[in-house]
Amino acid sequence: MARPTTRTAIVTGGSGGIGRAVAERLAADGYAVVVHYSGNERRAAETVEAITGEGGTAVATRADVADENQVVALFDSTERRFGGVDAVVHTAGIMELAPLAETEFDMLDRMLRTNVRGTLAVAREAARRVRGGGAIVTFSSTVVRLALPTYAGYAATKGAVEAMTLILARELRGRDITVNAVAPGPTATPLFLDGKDEATVSRLAAQSPLERLGTPVDIAGAVSFLTGPDGRWINGQVLAPNGGAA
């Protein structure tokens, strides 16, 4: 077991584009990082190798974030290995797009299960386990405010994430634990770019006055702020790293 002074972070979805950047940034900030993944073991292993190759500490752990028993096991294994949990960053999520009139309920149910039930399951365990001085960060999306066509179902799930996050911040009164949501704007990740043609990508990039898409590193910087010493007075907020797109 690591020394009790080791700060430990769980990053769900840590094998993905934003999740991997977050995991690598928190490791560089001094955290031992648990890289959670749901299916892609190879990419999770690559994230761990990238962190350990730079002298950091990381392990990969598999779990279904919407299965409360598997989430409990994820936190149990983290506490056994590192002695406690100091930060939980929940980047795991799925996005499926369709006009509202064409939305299939199977598609909506999948997003509700992962994005809403999964956030609640992870946040519930984080609220029970994170040590004083720690941080909980969930992930929403700027599309909640942009109101883009085809995003109705996805934006609805992320609106629910924001509501849960702000309520949890108030429920943890007196615990010295910050709870915030990060709501990225259009970000160049496989999840975002999948199925979009070049014209669509260019149009979305132009929404920001900076006239580019965000990068996973941009988003990881926001998470680093919220989980670091300079972010201790930021609580119960939705931080939107989107280049001014909304």
The widest CA-to-CA distance across the chain, in whole angstroms, is 55
Nearest to 239 by CA among 17, 103, 109, 89: 89
Span between the terminal Cα atoms of the chain, in Å: 45
Q: Is 31 a catalytic residue?
A: no
Closest CA to 93 of 38, 49, 53: 38
Measured CA to CA, the distance from residue 96 to residue 153 in angstroms comes to 8
Please give the Cα distance from 122 to 71 (Å, whole number). Answer: 6
Amino acid (one-letter) located at 118: G
* Residue ranges in the chain assigned as alpha helix (H): 17-28, 41-53, 68-82, 105-111, 118-129, 143-146, 152-171, 190-193, 198-205, 216-227
Exactly one of 31, 37, 151, 154 is catalytic; name it: 154
The tokens describing 232, both together, are: 């201790």
Query: Which residue numbers are catalytic?
Result: 154
